Amino acid sequence: MISPTTSLFVLGALAKVTSAKTTTFTQPAAAPTDTSTFYVGASNGSLPRSATVPGLVFDRFIQIWLENTDYSAAAAQPAFQTLSQEGITLSGYYALTHPSQPNYIAAAGGSFWGLASDDEVTIPANVSTIADLLDAKGITWAEYEENMPTDGYLGDSFTNPDGYTYYMRKHSPLVSYDSVNQNPARLARLRNFNDFAYDVGNNTLPQWFFVTPNMKDDGHDTGVAYASDWLNYWLVPLLQDTNFNTPRTLILLTFDENGNYAINNEIYSILLGGAVPSNLKGTVDNTFYTHYSTLSTVQNNWSLDNLGQGDCNATLANVFQFVADVTGYKNNGMTNGTNLPLLNITGTIPGPLNPSYPAPWPTPDTSCIGAGGGGFFRSK
């Protein structure tokens, strides 16, 4: 006999699957390189063209984050299977915690500061981020936030004229940092998708950028099958566009977190782009990575300073192995087969953004050399 609890659970699970299947993907624009009135805010013009700072392995790093999907669910999608043949599948990549927002914040600043919610937060101006490390070397950067109406928009969300809330601030990695949100020049780097169309059209995309699809396209409200349709619409053609993907471009396609909090936080991730050596296309790398690996890999590639936070944690910040193989950087040897830390913990990690377990702003590890070899970043 099925207990009432069990049958309710089954019904809930079925309802979720059904709604994900019945939502049909709608193209937001004629092509990813086109502007669209659906994006509401006009473009502010394309970014200025600036000199490329060469890296050791790549000259451009693009991150594209989808939402809330277990590794196995993404691996079952044909879109991911096809893309995996064009790159390196990372079978040991983990998110850091739950829910969404702390993962995005950690990818920018090297910590989620104890945060366990999607509520709007701000982080003091003396806390450095990846933007400081890149600016110090003249490496251009931006975020592209789909359906964010205007550049540097500071609202918690944005609802389109059709009544649907497509943009959420919680999925923007840099906006919570006062060093960004109080600086107009930096706010102009938090860009909308009409800007993306101009930047890609004019070949002025920056060297480091983060892509946040809207609440439907990232699978958050719709499921991973819908996100797959978006990838086929958006990413697949852009991989053939030399203003986006050059022979020196590395692209990380990943998720913010998995969906099932009761298992460890493994997420399906693929390294794509022209910087992936052709002999590694279609291979699998089971090195243990987390979102901090995006910081350490970028530091390693451009000889950047570090933040003295999770980017310096020897357990959590392995550099993408094919990059480390070129630069000579030594990873810690942990793989998905070894005993990994539990990264599905949420709510009980102390920090300045955890009202239940408050702790002071952590002092950065100023003695860390870091993957870039430069030491701790000190603002000039």
Residues assigned a catalytic role: 221
Q: Residue-wise over 169-191: b if at least 16 C-beta within 10 A, else e?
A: bbbbbbbbbebbbeeeebbebbb
Q: Which stretch binds ligand NAG (CB under 6 A): 9-17, 160-168, 182-190, 231-239?
A: 182-190
Q: Does 25 bind ligand NAG (CB under 6 A)?
A: no
Q: How far is the CB of 84 from ligand NAG (least distance, A)?
A: 11
| Binds ligand NAG by CB under 6 A, chosen from 23, 27, 36, 44 | 44
List the one residue out of 287, 347, 256, 294 whose CA is nearest residue 69: 256
CB 109 within 8 A of CB 309: yes
Q: Quick one: 25 or 361, whose CB is closer to ligand NAG?
A: 361
Q: Quick one: 12 or 138, whose CB is closer to ligand NAG?
A: 138
Q: How far is the CB of 250 from ligand NAG (least distance, A)?
A: 14
Q: How far is the CB of 207 from ligand NAG (least distance, A)?
A: 10
Q: Among residue numbers 348 through 367, which ones bind ligand NAG (CB under 6 A)?
A: 361, 363-364
Q: Which stretch binds ligand NAG (CB under 6 A): 24-32, 195-203, 273-281, 324-332?
A: 195-203
CB 88 within 8 A of CB 276: yes
| Binds ligand NAG by CB under 6 A, chosen from 24, 126, 240, 367 | 126
Q: Quick one: 364 or 370, whose CB is closer to ligand NAG?
A: 364
251 bridge partner residues: 62, 272
**Four-point Cα dihedral 329, 365, 265, 132, nearest 10:** -80
Q: Quick one: 7 or 348, whose CB is closer to ligand NAG?
A: 348
Q: Residue-wise over 52-87: b if at least 16 C-beta within 10 A, else e?
A: eeebebbbbbbbbbbbbbbbebbeebebbeebbebb
List the one residue out of 210, 212, 226, 236 whose CA is nearest residue 73: 226
| Binds ligand NAG by CB under 6 A, chosen from 110, 152, 213, 352 | 152
CB 65 within 8 A of CB 210: yes
Q: Does 261 bind ligand NAG (CB under 6 A)?
A: yes
Q: Quick one: 221 or 255, whose CB is closer to ligand NAG?
A: 255
Q: Among residue numbers 281 through 320, which ones bind ligand NAG (CB under 6 A)?
A: 302-303, 313, 315-316
For the chain, the helix, strand and coil percentages under 3-state DSSP, each to the nearest 5: 30, 15, 55
CA distances from 336 to 92, 264, 267, 276 (A): 5, 11, 12, 21
| Binds ligand NAG by CB under 6 A, chosen from 2, 30, 262, 328 | 262
| Binds ligand NAG by CB under 6 A, chosen from 11, 17, 31, 263 | 263
Q: How far is the CB of 33 from ligand NAG (least distance, A)?
A: 7
CB 270 within 8 A of CB 62: no
| Binds ligand NAG by CB under 6 A, chosen from 8, 14, 31, 42 | 42
Q: How far is the CB of 246 from ligand NAG (least distance, A)?
A: 15
CB 141 within 8 A of CB 189: yes
Q: Among residue numbers 45 through 84, which ones bind ligand NAG (CB under 6 A)?
A: 45-46, 53-56, 71
Specify burial of residue 120 (Cβ count, 10 A radius: 0-12, 13-18, 19+): middle
List the one residue out of 151, 60, 65 whose CA is nearest residue 105: 65
List the one residue out of 232, 265, 213 whose CA is nearest residue 78: 232
Q: How far is the CB of 148 from ligand NAG (least distance, A)?
A: 9
Which spans of this chain sit near ligand NAG (rule: CB under 6 A)? 41-42, 44-46, 53-56, 71, 91, 124, 126-127, 137, 150-152, 184, 187-188, 198, 201-202, 261-264, 266, 302-303, 313, 315-316, 336, 341-342, 344-345, 361, 363-364
